[in-house]
């Protein structure tokens, strides 16, 4: 075995996309790392998640195996003419040009948003299964719910878990998601940014067999990614599972509070979804009718109301949703987890980083380099979510303005050079060391 490149040990708390990719990347670069996950095993829900050009580039920068895992399970738009299409946008509220629901795919596409990778959907659980193969045995510890982090006299950080056990590390990265315990520890439990807040949107999530979806809305709309816009609700669909399944996420805006917090999901029904989308056109209604009778409803919370003033404190820092949980309207939250991993790994790997003080500089640099972009995403995601529902200020139902707003904002997300991002971070670090 190669001797570790570093004398310090990294503790990663949380085994979602942010934590697993960070553990894989650090281990690959010969940096000692342990991952602590509260659940008894790695696990993701059976829903779809898509990745844009920046996310795919970040995968390659982190570890070729992460990119290969993604390629193995990724499903693109089915039509070769739509390989660069991110979404076709439709007026989901219109009744379409056809008289028969069977022909509702004639409902016109209002505009198309494209990028260099097009739509790339993966089934979350399948992607995670592939990623786990890259996590070497022995570096993951399960049933480890972090409660507290304290500093010992010798400067080591002591992680305290709910089962009464403890472990030590030199640096702690909280990848523990939207309800992050590490965030609470950093800012204090009563601080406004300790917890996420409700965006007053929730989403029904469903997976339907592709043959049924084609029958309902026609081949073009079923086999390629679509965004059905409407007032106070929008529904996006994209193929997953190599085109055998259509992933549906149907968002509804509500003035009501989310009664189930801290639970972010609840059981809903197809009937309820159909009520929320009453008045929508045949494409939306016909697809909703194909979902299971019982549907998962996801509350959309984010950190947009009370953004963190820093992602790091001493040798503890936050990455992924723990730092910048966003609503999903840009489809970029997980992609930004990968960007975080790329930058953090580049900084921790730097040959000059040796001492505890150096590690503080690493995390301080990470905060400096990542906070503005990631917090912009949180706000921008809220804005585009409102664009899809014709309620964004100065945009309304003007499709040309909606298209311009999305193109401009998606450009900021997609048009980045991840290797340069890492290089810039290393230069920032050099100024601090």
Using CB under 6 A as the binding rule, whether residue 268 contacts ligand FAD is answered as no
Minimum distance from residue 357 beta carbon to ligand FAD (Å): 27
Using CB under 6 A as the binding rule, whether residue 181 contacts ligand FAD is answered as yes
Tell which one of 335, 384, 390, 402 touches ligand FAD (CB under 6 A): 335
Using CB under 6 A as the binding rule, whether residue 390 contacts ligand FAD is answered as no
Considering only residues 1 to 40 of the shown chain, the ones binding ligand FAD according to CB under 6 A are 13-19, 36-39
Minimum distance from residue 109 beta carbon to ligand FAD (Å): 21
Gap between the Cα atoms of 109 and 169, Å rounded: 54
Using CB under 6 A as the binding rule, whether residue 59 contacts ligand FAD is answered as no
Gap between the Cα atoms of 122 and 109, Å rounded: 24
Burial of 202 (0-12, 13-18, 19+ CB in 10 A): buried
Is 205 one of the annotated active-site residues of the chain?
yes
- Nearest of 323, 335, 342, 322 to residue 25 by alpha carbon: 342
- For ligand FAD, give the closer residue by CB, 39 or 430: 39
Distance of CA 268 to the CA centre of its chain: 23
Distance of CA 241 to the CA centre of its chain: 19
Considering only residues 233 to 262 of the shown chain, the ones binding ligand FAD according to CB under 6 A are 249
How many residues sit in the footprint of ligand FAD (CB under 6 A)? 35
Using CB under 6 A as the binding rule, whether residue 304 contacts ligand FAD is answered as no
Alpha-helical (H) ranges within 45-96 are 53-62, 64-73
- For ligand FAD, give the closer residue by CB, 5 or 133: 133
**Using alpha carbons only, what angle is made at residue 359 by residues 426 and 137, rounded to the nearest 5 degrees?**
95
Burial of 119 (0-12, 13-18, 19+ CB in 10 A): buried
Gap between the Cα atoms of 244 and 350, Å rounded: 44
Let me know: does 301 contact 326? Beta carbons within 8 Å. no
Using CB under 6 A as the binding rule, whether residue 135 contacts ligand FAD is answered as no
- For ligand FAD, give the closer residue by CB, 176 or 350: 176
In this chain, which stretch among 67-75, 89-97, 194-202, 332-340 interacts with ligand FAD, using CB under 6 A?
332-340
Minimum distance from residue 98 beta carbon to ligand FAD (Å): 30
- For ligand FAD, give the closer residue by CB, 64 or 147: 147
- For ligand FAD, give the closer residue by CB, 8 or 336: 336
Minimum distance from residue 104 beta carbon to ligand FAD (Å): 25
In this chain, which stretch among 27-35, 210-218, 316-324, 341-349 interacts with ligand FAD, using CB under 6 A?
316-324
* Active-site option among 76, 124, 183, 205: 205
- For ligand FAD, give the closer residue by CB, 13 or 216: 13
| Closest CB to ligand FAD: residue number | 16
- Nearest of 393, 395, 323, 314 to residue 18 by alpha carbon: 323
Tell which one of 23, 56, 169, 203 touches ligand FAD (CB under 6 A): 203
Q: How far is CA 1 from CA 4, 106, 139, in A?
A: 9, 61, 15
Burial of 376 (0-12, 13-18, 19+ CB in 10 A): middle
- Nearest of 19, 50, 54, 20 to residue 373 by alpha carbon: 54
Residues at the site binding ligand FAD, with contacts judged by CB under 6 A: 13-19, 36-39, 49-51, 144-146, 175-178, 181, 203, 249, 298, 320-322, 328, 331-335, 337
Q: Which residues are catalytic?
A: 205
């Amino acid at each position: 075995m190669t001797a570790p490149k570093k004398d310090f040990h990294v503790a990663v708390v949380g085994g979602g996309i942010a934590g697993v990719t960070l553990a894989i990347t650090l281990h690959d670069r010969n940096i000692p790392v342990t991952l602590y996950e509260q659940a008894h095993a790695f696990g993701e829900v059976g829903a779809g998640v898509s990745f844009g050009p920046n996310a795919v580039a970040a995968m390659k920068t982190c570890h070729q195996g992460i990119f290969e895992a993604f390629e193995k399970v990724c499903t693109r738009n089915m039509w070769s003419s739509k390989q660069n299409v991110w979404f076709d946008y439709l007026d989901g509220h219109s009744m379409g040009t056809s008289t028969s629901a069977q022909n509702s795919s004639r409902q016109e596409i209002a505009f198309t948003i494209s990028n260099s990778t097009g739509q790339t959907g993966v089934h979350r659980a399948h992607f995670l299964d592939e990623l786990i193969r890259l996590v070497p045995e022995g570096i993951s510890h399960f049933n480890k719910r972090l409660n507290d982090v304290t500093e010992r006299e010798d400067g080591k950080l002591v992680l305290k878990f709910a089962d009464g056990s403890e472990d030590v590390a030199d640096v702690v990265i909280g990848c523990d998601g939207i309800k992050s315990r590490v965030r609470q520890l950093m800012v204090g439990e009563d601080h406004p940014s300790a917890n996420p807040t409700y965006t007053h949107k929730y989403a029904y999530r469903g997976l339907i067999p592709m043959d049924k979806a084609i029958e309902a809305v026609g081949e073009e709309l079923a086999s390629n990614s679509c965004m059905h816009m409407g007032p106070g609700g929008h529904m996006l669909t994209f193929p997953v599972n190599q085109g055998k399944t259509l992933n549906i996420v149907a968002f509804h805006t509500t003035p009501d509070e989310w009664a189930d917090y801290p639970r972010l999901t609840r059981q809903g029904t197809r009937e309820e979804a159909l009520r929320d989308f009453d008045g929508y056109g045949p494409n939306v209604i016909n697809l909703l009718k194909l979902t299971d009778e019982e549907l998962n409803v996801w509350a959309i919370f984010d950190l947009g109301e009370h953004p963190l003033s820093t992602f790091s404190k001493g040798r503890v820092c936050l990455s992924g949703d723990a730092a910048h949980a966003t609503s999903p309207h840009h489809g970029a939250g997980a992609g930004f987890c990968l960007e975080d991993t790329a930058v953090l790994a580049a900084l921790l790997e730097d040959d000059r980083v040796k001492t505890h003080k150096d590690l503080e500089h690493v995390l301080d640099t990470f905060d400096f380099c990542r906070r503005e972009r990631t917090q912009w995403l949180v706000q921008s995601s809220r804005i585009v979510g409102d664009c899809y529902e014709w309620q964004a200020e100065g945009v309304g139902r003007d499709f040309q303005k909606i298209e311009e707003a999305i193109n401009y904002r998606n450009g900021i997300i997609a048009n980045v050079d991840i290797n340069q991002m890492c290089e810039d971070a290393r230069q920032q670090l050099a100024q601090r060391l």
